Structures are given as C-alpha cells and as structure tokens.
Amino acid sequence: MIKIENLQHYYTDSDGNEVKALDGVDLTIGQGEFVAIIGANGSGKSTLARHLNCLLLPTDGRVEISGLDTREEKNMWDIRQQVGMVFQNPDNQIVAAVVEEDVAFGPENIGVPGPEIAPRVAKALAAVGMTEYAKHAPHRLSGGQKQRVAIAGIMALEPKCIVLDEPTAMLDPQGRKEIVSTVQKLNQEKNITIVYITHYMVEALAADRVVVMEKGHVRFMGTPKEVFSRVDELEALGLEAPLAAKVASELRKSGVKLPSGIITDEELAQALCQ
C-alpha cells in the first residue's frame, strides 16, 4: 500500500541553513496494517506523514501509494482520495454548520454524484459511531466527537488509508479512548490502513507495528512488545515506555526474574501474582 524509499526532505530555514527534516527513511506499510509512529518533537514524524498524501513532496527518494509516485502531479488527486489526514485540532477541520453536511463536503468536492452522497455520509457516520449526531451542530460536540466527525469526513471518500497526526493531543481521557477504539474498529472491520502518530505510548499499544523515529531516521521498529520492552533506549530518545514495562524493567534491574515482553498491566499482574 505505502512504499517509502530513501525518503529525504530538506528545507532552508529563514537563516539560510539547510535543515534535514527527513534523512533517508525506508518504510513499507501493507494494506490493512495499523502502524503507530512515535518519536520526540522534531524527529520528523509529521513531515513523514505529510508525504503520504502529497502535502509535501520528497527532496530525494520516493513515496509510492498503491504504486502511484507522489511526485507525479497527475497522481495527486488519486492519492489524496486514497489517503486521508486527521490533524491535532478538531476545531480547524470542520467546515459546515451541521455534522452531515461537514461529512458530505469531501465527496461533494471530488464530484461524487448527488444520489450517492447521502448513503456515503450515513455509512461514514455509522462507521465512527456518530449516526445520532447527524443533524447536530459540530461546534457543540465534545473534542472526541469532533475528531470522529473529521474521521467520518475522510471515510466518506472511501479511502484505503487514514493518517492521524496526534489526533488526541487536545482531547480529554474519554475522547482519547473514543478515537483509539474508532480507529481500531475501522482497521479491523473495514481493513483501512492506519498510520497513527502519537506521544501517548498507551495508544501505540493498539498498533500492529510501532515505528520509532529520531532525527529524520527510523531508529527501530517492531511489534509493540518488541519496541516497548526497550525501556532504556526509549528513554534516551526522550520517549517513555508504558508504565507496566517501566515497572518490569526496574524490577529486573534489581535482580527480579520476570519473563520478557511485559508491556501491559495484565501481563505484569500475571507475572507477579501467579
């Protein structure tokens, strides 16, 4: 689905210095995969995400979406229809005064025939669990609900992939849970490829694969178990392993023998209270 080869992205800052935001990223993501990307501020996560639907183009190297090269201008609309983006701030992504009109904006914009729009909107709202809010005013919804409307707006375009760039950064705990479970559901039930950028390690636990970025590179990647077991390495990168992994690591350091790969509360409880 997504093929990234030796992707480089440089830009010149206002002092005239060349900044290497991405410096040789190789990454392949299969259709239906759920990939979380973590990394410190400035590690290149968002720059990488913006290459997935032509918001940014490579300085060097290439990005292919379903075999389409993002550098070819003629591919752009096709790619944007396949890959939708959700950003941090729910308030900046809403355009209409009624939820269903907001969700209809995308399909209308790409010229979906009129009679097809309403069913698409209904399907998209159902997919994110917002059907009962179809006639509501978006600005009166909670943050989590607004983000789900934003996701529905993308679902109405029938994409293959959704890229979410810190979608929960501005949400309350309830909203964060809503987004993670919505995304998981779309991934599992609709086989939508998910690229999920976050600073909340707990959210990355839901992914099939976790990619750790540092200074424009992929530093390492693997299953959540593999990645979050590397507690000290994550800390050195300015990140944090989930609490259970940290506690397990501290216990091991003081000589307690525990099985490897403990990252969730349940796993730790099982290891400690048999």
Residues that bind another protein (CB under 8 A): 13-15, 39-42, 88, 140, 142-144, 166, 169-176, 199, 202, 238-240, 242-244, 246-247, 250-251, 254-256, 265-266, 268-269, 272-273
263, 265, 267, 270: CA torsion to nearest 10:
150
Residue 23 corresponds to which tokens in the numbers above?
Answer: 């410096």
Helix, strand, coil shares of the chain, percent, nearest 5, are: 40, 25, 35
Smallest distance, another protein to C-beta of residue 89, A: 8
Residue among 20, 158, 7, 169 nearest 83 (CA): 158
Instruction: Compare residues 108 and 235 and give the one whose CB is closer to another protein.
Output: 235
Smallest distance, another protein to C-beta of residue 196, A: 15
Q: In 3-state terms, what secondary structure has residue 52?
A: coil
Smallest distance, another protein to C-beta of residue 60, A: 24
Smallest distance, another protein to C-beta of residue 139, A: 9
CB 193 within 8 A of CB 208: no
Smallest distance, another protein to C-beta of residue 80, A: 25
Instruction: Compare residues 13 and 132 and give the one whose CB is closer to another protein.
Output: 13
Could you give the C-alpha distances from 258 to 138, 225, 269, in angstroms and in order? Answer: 49, 14, 11
